[in-house]
Amino acid sequence: MARLEIVVAAAESEYMRRLAAGVRDSPFGSRWRLTACTTGDSLRQYLKGGYAVHLVLAQPSLLEQAGELPAGIPAAAFVRRRGEGGGLPELLQYQPVPELLAGIEALLAGSGDKRLRAGGEGAAVVAVCDPVGGAGKSTCSLWLARLAGERGLRALYLNLERFDASGLQLREPGEASGEGVEALLYALKADKPDFPARLTSVRRYSRRMGTDYIGEAPSPEERQAMTGDDAARLLEALAGSGLYDLIVADMDSVLDDAAAAVLERCDAVVWLAEPSAVARRKTRLAFEAARLTHPAAAAAARSRMLFVRSRVRPHAEEDRVAECAADRSLPAFAAELPYDPGIGRIESAAPAYIQAAGDLLDRLGCGTKRSVGL
């Protein structure tokens, strides 16, 4: 993910040194780049340099000395007491470091790019499905999130599987999992007003895959108990938090009420299938079952779907022969993920696979910060 450029202006040099150290030692250190200014003149000169700036956080006296800021740069006042900001958004300068960093993140969320979502505001949601299993769904999901981040989008990988093993790819050996989706669901059910702050404390950043993610629930029963209303509220809260441009939902193979709610809400569906006759027959049966049990979700998914051939086995010639004899009631494959013999190490996929995943992002409208839609 491209770093967010934050300019902080405060007269106290020692305070600025401690703040920079606090950011560097926090999960935000990999997402933010902090530039410190201790005078109004240095702030003015830096901003006149034309550098990319996502947020200016400055003491009111230094803002006054700097004069009028360049157009389009979000600004907030770094205040000792509420009411000193002169009408700008305010952040208390002296508070515990975790709360201070969460406050900066909330300010960034308020100024974030909202252009990606095609219908309404908030993050775009892409659901990655494989009801048959074994087609490389989690690998695809993780690479979509990673590549979106490398293109400058604020991406979140959201695993909604009952048996979530994504931590093996996301965390360093020995790294604790921390709180997960269950903590966010609890916050929503308790109607807590500070969901973005709760999300900021729960989410993790994977250095291995270069994306934010939510840790797994403590047991599969937590995901199994998730209702359609739970899933809809969670997705709306995540998309509307202002913290992300894109959410990649790694779906469970079972189409229950929660999965149906995600399919109805999402902006695009990436449906993976192996090109073998057996896999395509199972995919057709999954389509038919979805139409019977969740017709609205099935119709929504079909209208927003990219049907993707996923070659997870090396027998490409055998697969092509099998495909010719396969059921023709399914949509034609619109894209392909190639076979990668080293895909067991997800973070080091082959160049051909990475290129294909990037092409998928282009098809989804994620080449740059623009609308997701098919």
Q: What is the pLDDT of residues 129-149, one digit of tens each?
A: 998 888 899 999 999 999 998
Order of strands across the sheet that contains 32-37: 32-37, 4-9, 55-58, 75-79, 90-92
Q: Is residue 321 over pLDDT 50?
A: no
Range of the domain at 29: 4-110
Predicted confidence band of residue 119 (pLDDT cuts 50, 70, 90): very low
Q: What is the mean predicted confidence (pLDDT) over 85-106?
A: 84
- Residue 142: HSE in the Cβ half-sphere, 13 Å Cα cutoff: 26
Q: What is the mean predicted confidence (pLDDT) over 223-238?
A: 93
Number of domains in the chain: 2
Q: Is residue 324 over pLDDT 50?
A: no
**Torsion, Cα of 91, 36, 148, 286 (10° steps):** -30
- Cα 366 from Cα 118, distance rounded (Å): 12
Q: What is the pLDDT of residues 272-317, one digit of tens each?
A: 998 888 888 888 898 889 889 999 998 888 888 899 999 877 764 4
Q: What is the pLDDT of residues 169-214, one digit of tens each?
A: 888 877 777 788 999 999 898 887 778 888 888 888 888 888 899 9
Domain contains 285: yes
Domain end residue (candidates: 77, 110, 143): 110
Per-residue pLDDT at 15: 93
- Which CATH number covers residue 96? 3.40.50.10850
Q: Hey, what are 202's tokens? A: 């729960």
- Cα 14 from Cα 143, distance rounded (Å): 41
Domain end residue (candidates: 110, 141, 169): 110
Per-residue pLDDT at 14: 93
